[in-house]
Chain A
Amino acid sequence: MSVELKQYQAPVWNEPVILDMGYPGRRGVLFAAVEPEIRQHVGDASDLIPFAMRRQDRPALPELSEPEVLYHYLRLSQQTLGMMGISLFGTCTMKYNPQINEAMAWRPEITELHPLQHEDTMQGALEIVHNMDLMLRELSGMDQFVFQAGGGSEAAFTNCAVTRAYHASKGELEQRDEVIVTIQTHPCNPATAAAAGFKVITLMLDESGYPSLDALKAVVSNRTAAIMVNNPDDMGVYNPDMKEWVRIVHEAGGLAFYDAANFNGTMSKLRAREIGFDACMFMLHKTFGAPKSGVGGPATGAYGVSSELAPFLPSPLVVRDGDRYRLDADRPQSVGKIREFLGNVQVVLKAYAWTRSMGAEGIAQASDISVLSNNYMEKGLLAIRGVTRSHPEATTPRMEMTRYSFQQMKEETGVDIHDVQNRMSDFGIDPLWASHEPWLLPEPFTPEAGEMYGKEALDRWIAVIARISDEAYSDPELVKTSPHNQAVHRLKPGMIDDPSSRSMTWRAFKRKMAATG
């Protein structure tokens, strides 16, 4: 494999912050004044506001014409590499967001639909939600899904709320105050468990790459509310004891939750319910082709449960009565609301469209390609000087991700993983993802090939890593001062940490700069 790397230069617009732009009196949008009849009837607007509540100053927003605003943000969009290079951001499952799905989701039949409309006027939206529910049931074996959570973390919180309600219904919530996770469970699981009021017990990995059964048995008790785990983890290691884990937790009266964030490698191969899990979640904004929107959403954490837990799900649920769909809010054991309304219905629509385009065959193939591509990349990456792999002694093929380390290169050259990230962007490639905290492996990195990118793109990604390794060993300063071909240079160290200079708004920045001269 020999790849010639292309020259790349990001657009450099030196675009001012928008609050530093404009001219007094310019307008970006106008509103017609109210009709004379209205004015005569109600008089001046200011008289309609209680005196104490009238704003005295004008907000110090910029004054710009419409094209000035439009082109400012188009220039900023140009300075966003996004997915145009190659983004193999591990655990995020970078996936094509089909344009047909965007076009459909932005039609007025969805954008102009109010969630409190009468059911009769939103049968289309409810049909999509219900049919997505049915397809996810088939993919997981669960009995009911709900789409209220606006992301995976919120779905994890939903699970914690459902767990509370389930144990409270048995009068055991006070006693069952512990949630068990592994150190490789995504941070949102321990974080939402703690925010929901549970104590968190974290199991560490043994040399096989997952915690031992004995470690689990040692912490499971009549205080166990639930386990929250993923499988495989983001090192590509699959825990083969998971059925036994679930059995042990069930025997102790706890619930088992499967965070299927890493579903790309196992979709069509296994189903959470058949392994014994009571609940699971899918990320519609990654696995199912809807956009992540800058790790920000709007996203959807689809949360599914067994029939035993279904009464506790957030309300309302979309149900089908013959040819009609309706919202069922008469659910006395429900945890109520996790987020307003039905969730991000437009994201559900995009995921529904993706699933209909892929079909069962396409989904199975996407899973195959993800795992094949990861193993293909592994061969190329491990051949690069300074790169090692987690659990080097585990010889079975990893699933859709592998965790690597640049520790050896750091020790030998001083170039760390953040330097590598910055330097990657000089080649028009999105910086690699390191790892969640804590870093079990030093100087980690975790590419996830997914099914979208072609072999040429994977080869180019590997070639960039190889080039940066060469540079680290021959000219480390080049890497340590990168990026060089980007829209801006790296931040000066220090300002971000000092409250007297750290500025999260333009007004704070002006004030702090004036204070320090």
Chain B
Amino acid sequence: MRDVSAHPYMANSVPAIQQEMLDSIGVATVEELFVQIPEDHRLSRPLHLPPALSERELRRHLLDILSKNSTTEDNLSFLGAGIWQHHVPAAVDEIVRRNEWLTSIYGEPSSDHGLYQAWFEFCSQLGELLNLDLVGMPVRSWGTAAGHALRMAARLTGRNEVAVVRAIDPERLSIIRNYCEPPEMANHIAIRLVDYDPATGLIDLDDLRAALGQQTAAVYFEVPCYLGVIEHQAAEIAAIARVAGAQTIVGVDPISLGVLSAPSAYGADIVVGTIQPLGIHLHAGGGVGGFIATRDEPRYAAEYPTLFINIAETIKPGEYGFGRALLEQSSYDQRENGKDWIGHSVYMWAVAATAYMATMGPQGFVEIGEIILQRAHHAASRLGDLEGVRISFPSGFFKEFVVNFDDTKKSVSEINDALRAEGIFGGHDLSSDFPELGQSALYCVTEVHTHADIERLVGAVQKVIAR
């Protein structure tokens, strides 16, 4: 027992209580309870950690550190590329931060009925945006959703190759490569990258046809793609995949689905994507989350690695409750024979996203989609008017677009450094990941960017390139 004050987080840190408990079990010291650990396993010295802080000291300490960050609120930001700035209604933040579900484990459906219902409503509302009946609980990110979906397709088809669009987020592709296993492994899934047309950003259909064969389990593409372009050959791509006996997997940004077709309408078999735009802040990258959805067919349901929440009648007539359907196929039950693996994901963000979707309603999604399209196209057009600046794929994009600066004789890095000095975060630099695009940046414009913001950007870019 240590001679220190009780710690506010530990009710039993009062020495007298510990003595009561020791007396109760007839043990003289706490140390005696650790006899299982052999002497030669033990750390022979106290830990060297920084001194403990009181709440007031901790707050001051953290504020000092956090003040070294300069955020997208302090600056005018046009960064996207996998996580995007959208308006988060204050009510959504209030809901997601409730202590009731902040920390709980998933208790039985009896004790945590409200949390289960919120989760079911997340899956249900996302199902309405997607026009799909089967939606799993979120996975950790869009990349992990795509990785799992490709493995699902390989199991469904018994095949071991996939065709993946090359205009993809390099981080997402890296995750997919880890999920598809290296060539040395027996179950390696080979990835064939499908080119895009350098003029339009759309998939090169000839290259797609050439990539498909007897072993193709799936074709994976995105709407909009990483470079922002709305892939309008989607139905044709799905048809080509179907002829080859492959699954069509489509990645989407659900905030576009008030105005863009749901992938099920153009032939997607498995739909994946991000949930971050649905009411979740950036959190320095900690706001990401992904989903997997399909038609409600048992052969698809049988391959999901996710948790499912099902609605069902209770033993009281007219009353409904929720359960965890198909948990028995998960790795919790099946260990190495489960469907990939399950574990901590981002279920808290499912609560934010369900509140967001309910707040938005059908008209909210239509309006936000229209506003984003108009603001993004206006910004692209205004930037494209500048001397030496070119919009690489000037039509048919949603909220992101590629801005090329080759003719300014300046690098994206130089331009972004100068913009940053003006309090502007320029678009994400694509020059090392997509060298064929030259000195290009991926700009993101959403509903949060006003006309004045866009004019400020245009003015600043003009100034920078004129130097």
Contacts and interface: CB of A to CB of B under 8 A. Distances in A.
A483 B316 CA distance: 11
Interface in B32-55: 32-38, 40-43, 46-53, 55
Interface stretch (A90-98, A302-310, A466-474): A90-98
A343 B285 contact: yes
Contacts of B358: 18, 28, 61-62, 64, 69, 72
Interface stretch (B190-198, B208-216, B230-238, B458-466): B230-238
Nearest to A176: B184
B128 interface: yes
Nearest to A66: B91
Interface string A264-308: 001011110011000000000100010111111111010000000
B407 interface: no
Contact of A362 (B52, B72, B325, B335): B52
A478 interface: no
B416 interface: yes
Contacts of A508: 127, 133-134, 296
B111 A425 contact: yes
A104 B259 contact: no
A298 to B, nearest CB: 5
A359 B49 contact: yes
Contact of B53 (A161, A356, A424, A489): A356
B225 interface: no
Contacts of B284: 110, 113-115, 122, 125, 341-342, 345-346
Given A82-B102, A193-B336, A373-B21, A55 B4 contact: no
A514 interface: no
Interface string A88-129: 010010101110101010111111111111101111110110
Given A50-B230, A197-B187, A335-B178, A34 B374 contact: yes
Contact of B112 (A82, A275, A372): A82
Contacts of B32: 397
Interface in A10-42: 10, 14-15, 17-19, 22, 26-29, 31, 33-35, 37-39, 41-42
Nearest to B295: A508
A356 B313 contact: no
A81 B116 CA distance: 12
B49 A270 contact: no
Interface string B79-112: 1011101010101011101111111111111111
Interface stretch (A152-160, A216-224, A247-255, A404-412): A152-160
B100 A80 contact: yes
A17 B121 contact: yes
B158 interface: no
B134 A505 contact: yes
Contact of A436 (B94, B266, B332): B332
17 contacts: A28-B91, A28-B361, A61-B365, A74-B98, A97-B102, A153-B344, A294-B351, A338-B175, A356-B58, A360-B49, A363-B47, A398-B36, A422-B110, A437-B334, A455-B11, A482-B110, A486-B113
